[in-house]
Amino acid sequence: MIALVRLRLAGFLRTGRALAPALAGLLALGVLYGGGRAQPAEAYGVSAVVLFPVLAWQTKILLDVEPDVQRRLAQVVLGPARERAAGLLAAAVAALGTVAVALVLPWLVGGVAGPAAPGDRSVLAGVLLGFWAHLLALPGAVALGALASRAVTRTAGYGVAVLALGAVGVLVLGLSGSVVPWLVPPLLPAARALAGHLGPTTGLLLSGWAAAWSAVVLTGYAWARRSRA
């Protein structure tokens, strides 16, 4: 299965189609950090929200770059479960690379600053919490991207619709006061928590929420792939 993960990552990186989401991500982060310095945890919380659609789009491209017949060949060789797992794993590895860039970038462009006032979090705590916020976004974004992939949606139009619905849903349904916030991963609630005080209970609750949301969407992906070669 690892060999297939490597093959798919190589295919994704060599076609050049990886460039579009990478540039979009850089642009979004550039806009985010262009406005001045912020505390790391707070900035990373917003960065995770911004990166969610980018990671989902990147996942869709990674899965779609492989021709359909090649995907079927991999399925014959490895079996359906491992073929699908390899695709998700390759997407997760690629997403981790993007997250690493997102964590480093603000330090390079001066978008974040160390603690300025008493009570501010340390730099290390800020970076760790930022990493956590991005990890909340990653599995949900991979799951959404997989659900939007050609193997499920078959046409470009449906694929874009699934991506757009997920990305807009995270923003709209994640607003404070939303009636059905649990319909989307808790990225805006996490960003709000990182701007203020984040207790361990809230952290655990948000982690469980993100994991459960991703599990539901991944189950939908696995179910949809059952009848589609």
> For binding to another protein (CB under 8 A), which residues are involved?
3-4, 6-7, 10-11, 14-15, 66-70, 72-80, 226-227, 229
Q: Distance between CA 102 and CA 121 in Å, rounded?
A: 19
Min dist CB 214 to another protein, Å, is 25
The residue among 34 and 79 lying less far from another protein, judged by its C-beta, is 79
Q: CB-wise, 67 or 208, nearer to another protein?
A: 67
Minimum CB distance to another protein, residue 219 (Å): 17
Complex with another protein: residue 212 or 229, whichever CB lies closer: 229
Of 75 and 214, CB closest to another protein = 75
Minimum distance, C-beta of residue 77 to another protein, in the bound complex (Å) = 5
Q: Within 173-199, where are the H helices?
A: 187-195
Q: How far is the CB of 3 from another protein (least distance, A)?
A: 4
The radius of gyration of the chain from alpha carbons, rounded to an integer in Å, stands at 18
Coil vs helix vs strand at 38: strand
Give the C-alpha separation, 193 to 206, whole Å.
10
Q: Which two tokens stand for residue 227?
A: 């009848």
Confirm if 91 and 12 have CB atoms less than 8 A apart.
no
